[in-house]
Amino acid sequence: MKRSLLAAAAVLSVALAGAVPAEAVAIPDFPVPKTFGTTFQADPGHDFTKHISSRKDGVLRGWITHVSTGQVEYEPIKWVKGRYTEGHFTGPREGAATAYASPVAKNVVFLSALGCSAEMMGLTVNKQGLGAKRCSRDTLLTRVKKYRRASLITVYRGEIVKLQEIYTP
């Protein structure tokens, strides 16, 4: 009897292991750019002269510039050192065609640097100054409609699957 139960349990565990839902697929471990990099990240092979489209798979230091039904537009950013301050992030010059558009995955991982509340009170960052508090997709979409926040944006299979805010005072 024990052997039968053990065999049945082994078969069930193998069957369950193979039935992984699509949402649970792991995000590949892409190289992460310097958080405060001073140059825009290149996207070799991307044709900006055609319609606005998704960036290739990987992590982009950028911010979301527009939210519309079903997708968001985003662009690369770089850190500009200040003369009298530490500095600030800036996007491409006006008129530069370097924007991307991608849908936000239903199960996006949004790591906030300022908590999940609408007031954005409380610092929730790791030692590198990156967001550490997991918030909902709705919180992400609400926040990026109101504020342009520097972030590490992970694109996988044409969708934004992770967005981690960069804390700047």
Which tops the pLDDT comparison, 51 or 73? 73
What would the pLDDT profile of 103-160 be if each residue is shown by its tens digit? 999 999 999 999 998 777 788 999 999 999 999 999 999 999 999 999 999 999 999 9
First-to-final CA distance of the chain? 65
Q: What is the DSSP letter of 113?
A: S
Specify the pLDDT at position 164. Answer: 97
Higher-pLDDT residue of 9 and 143 is: 143
CA distances from 160 to 83, 118, 126 (A): 35, 22, 22
Q: Which residue type does 104 have?
A: V
Position 25 scores a pLDDT of: 61
